[in-house]
Amino acid sequence: MHLNETDRTRPILRSLSISERTRRSLQELGLTDYEIRAYTTLLEAGSATANELSELSDVPYSKAYEVLGSLEKKGWVEVEHARPSKYYPKPPSVALDVTRLEVENRIRQNGAIVLEELQPLYERKEVHERPDVWIVRGEFNILAKTRETLDHAAKEILVALPVIPQAVMDALVPTLKTIIRKDIGVRVMTTKKAATASLEELSRVCDVRVRDQMFGGGVIVDGREVVLLLGEDETKQVVLAIWSDHVGLAKFAKSYFGSLWETSEPFSDRKA
C-alpha cells in the first residue's frame, strides 16, 4: 500500500477502551459491535478512510464501508466525499439527538398505523370479566401503567412517593400540567429527602406536602383506581407494582393517604 508523508507519521491506534456499561448502552441504542469499534476508533483518530479504519480498529476491510455507511445513516459519523472518502465522528451529544429524533419519528409513524387498526379492535373486543388486580413488573411498564391510570382521572389524583427519581419527574410533571388544565385536583406527598428542586417544580402545578418518613407509595385516581409501588432493585428503581380497580382496595388506599396527608407538612410552609 502506498503511504504519503502524513500516513508515515500517523500513530498506530486502536479503538478506545470503553467500559462494559457504555458498550451495553451503545448496543441498546442500536449500534453493532463493529459500529462501536469504528466509532470509538474515529473518536481516537479524529478521522480515517475506510482502509485506515480497518487497520486501526480490527473491522474487516470487507465490512468497513458497510459499517461506516450504517453509522452515517444513523447519525454517528459524517463523510467527506473525496478519493478516498474520509470519515469523521460526530460529537456523542449530536449523535444521541439524531438517534432520539429518529426513534421518536419511528414510534410516531408506526404507532399511528398500529393504533388506527388495532385500537378499535381492542375497544370492540375488550373482555369485561377481567382480573381487578394486575402485577406490573419493570420500571418502564410501571411508568406506562401509571400514566395510563392518570389519564383516567376525572376528579382527583393522589400521589405518594417516598422519593422522586428524575425519571418519574420527567414523566409526572408534563402529565400533571395537562391534568391541571382539566380542573382535576392533584395532591402529591413525599418525604423531606426529596430534592428541593423537584418539590419546587411540583409545587408550581399542585399541592405538595412532605413528612419525615413514608413506607411504600402509589397513585390513587378518583378513589377507584390505584397503582401501588412495592419493590425496588439495587439501584432503588421500582421494579414491581400492583394496579387495581378493586373498590375496597382503592377505598383503603385513599383513606390511608388521607391520614398521612393530615399529619404532613405543606411544602410552602417549609420554604418559608
In the β-sheet with 86-89, what is the strand arrangement from edge to edge?
A: 48-49, 86-89, 77-80
Residue 194: which pLDDT band, with cuts at 50, 70 and 90?
confident
**pLDDT at 125 (0 to 100):** 63
| Integer Cα distance of 238 and 218 in angstroms | 11
Cis status of the peptide bond prior to 84, with omega within 30 of 0: yes
Residue 243 confidence (pLDDT): 93
| pLDDT of 267 | 85
Q: How far apart are the C-alpha atoms of 104 and 172, rounded to whole Å?
A: 19
**Residue 196 confidence class, pLDDT cut points 50, 70, 90:** confident
pLDDT per position as a tens digit, 40-50: 999 998 999 99
Dihedral angle over CA of 67, 70, 74, 76, nearest 10: 30
Please give the average per-residue pLDDT across 118-145, as a whole number: 77
Query: Does residue 15 sit in helix, strand or coil?
Result: coil
Q: What confidence category does residue 3 fall into, taking pLDDT thresholds of 50, 70 and 90?
A: very low
Which architecture does CATH list for 5-90? Orthogonal Bundle (1.10)
Condensed to tens digits (0 to 9), the pLDDT of residues 17-32 reads 788 999 999 999 999 9
pTM, two decimals, is 0.60
pLDDT value of residue 6: 41
Q: What is the pLDDT of residues 72-96, one digit of tens each?
A: 999 999 999 888 999 999 999 999 9
The pLDDT value recorded for residue 236 is 52
| Residue ranges matching CATH 3.30.870.10 in the chain | 133-271
Q: Which amino acid is at 11?
A: P
Query: CATH for 133-271?
Result: 3.30.870.10
Please, which pLDDT band fits residue 127 given cuts at 50, 70 and 90?
A: low
Mean pLDDT of the chain: 83
**Which among 222, 213, 243, 233 is positioned nearest to 165, based on CA atoms?**
233
Q: pLDDT value at position 237?
A: 58
What does the pLDDT look like over 223-244, one tens digit per residue?
Answer: 999 999 886 645 555 578 899 9
H or E element at residue 80: strand 77-80
Domain with CATH 1.10.10.10 in the chain: 5-90
